[in-house]
Amino acid sequence: MQKIITLRTDKQNGLYDITSDVVTLIKLSRVKTGIASVYARGSTGAIMIQENWDQSVQNDVITLLKRLIPSGIWEHDHQDNNGDAHLKAGMVGASQTIPIIDYNAGLSTWQNIFFCEFDGPRDKREVVVTIIEDH
């Protein structure tokens, strides 16, 4: 099964919780044991599994990446002024794989799935979720 989650982002850099969307797709798939691949389309977005207890960890992730990869100093900025977004997305990575265990996402209590926006705001971002059953 493969579906696309579409979302809108409202910040230049931000984490957007898509856990409930992915969990819903896992439930709809009726897969008992397998994997869910969650993949960000585009070269300036990424997928991260991280804590969602409160906003602090998400804020810390953005703060860290902004300190490690500041904007405005990259060769690619001469083309479209988003060199930092490409580098942040590359470091975080375009996808994550979540195990499916007894029809549920195999996430721990504190793990959530985030779409990471590094070149927003955007009216349309797409995340491809591919669910594969273990036979």
Q: DSSP readout, 44-90?
A: TEEEEEEE-SSHHHHHHHHHHHHHHS-SS-STTHHHHS-HHHHHHHH
pTM, full prediction: 0.96
Q: State the average pLDDT for the chain.
A: 97
Q: Is the pLDDT assigned to residue 62 strictly greater than 90?
A: yes
Give the residue extent of every domain in the chain. 16-133
In the sheet that holds 33-40, the strands lie side by side as: 2-9, 122-133, 33-40, 95-101, 104-105
Q: Are 97 and 47 in contact (CB under 8 A)?
A: no
Mean pLDDT of 6-21: 98
Angle, CA of 13, 77 and 82, to the nearest 5°: 20
pLDDT computed for residue 135 by the predictor: 84
Mean pLDDT of 96-110: 97
Task: Spell out the CATH class of 16-133.
Answer: mainly beta
Q: What percent of the chain has pLDDT over 90?
A: 98
